[in-house]
Amino acid sequence: MLPALALLVFVTLQRGAELVWGRLNERRLRGLGAVEVGARHYPLIVLLHASWLVWIWLRGWDRPLIWPWVVLFLVLQAARVWVLATLGRRWTTRVLFIPGETLVKRGPFRFIPHPNYTVVVLEIIVLPLAFGLWGAAIVFGLLNLAMLTWRIRVEEGALAPLR
């Protein structure tokens, strides 16, 4: 039970810290003239991610962990850190861009166009699997895939002039 709680506390604190950091970056970017696109879908993303984490807390806190999935999740956290470090002060949870800015083309962005979304897709599936929550992995994985399909379309439309 203790490893499961430790993992859940880690993920919860991590996500909370990212929200704070993203909010600080958002304020700074807006001060520099950033424009937001896709604000309509943002509350749905927040609801999806919050529901995912709450579901895992409710169903997984006292379950034994499945360690290969935990290891994969931790590898994904290294990829997440790489993405966040590459974007730096540009990273937010919203789709913001500064007209005239250039796209980031270093770090993981050299290899795939949306590395953060790739990590998120995998995290949404892998973390529930670490707790043996197959149903949550499938349901939240499919919901997240639908949400990211919408978000990527919005983001690609906003970034098209910068390409």
What is the reported pLDDT for 136?
98
Q: Which residues make Cβ contacts (< 8 Å) with residue 4, sequence separation at least 6?
A: 60, 61, 62, 63, 64, 65, 131
Q: 3-class SS at 3?
A: helix
CA distance 25 to 57: 28
CA distance 102 to 11: 32
CA distance 161 to 87: 19
Say how many C-beta atoms besides its own lie within 10 A of residue 114's C-beta. 17
| Whether pTM exceeds 0.85 | yes
> Domains of the chain (ranges plus CATH)?
2-162 (1.20.120.1630)
Per-residue pLDDT band for 101 (boundaries 50, 70, 90) equals: confident
pLDDT digits (tens, 9 = 90+) for 59-71: 999 999 999 999 9
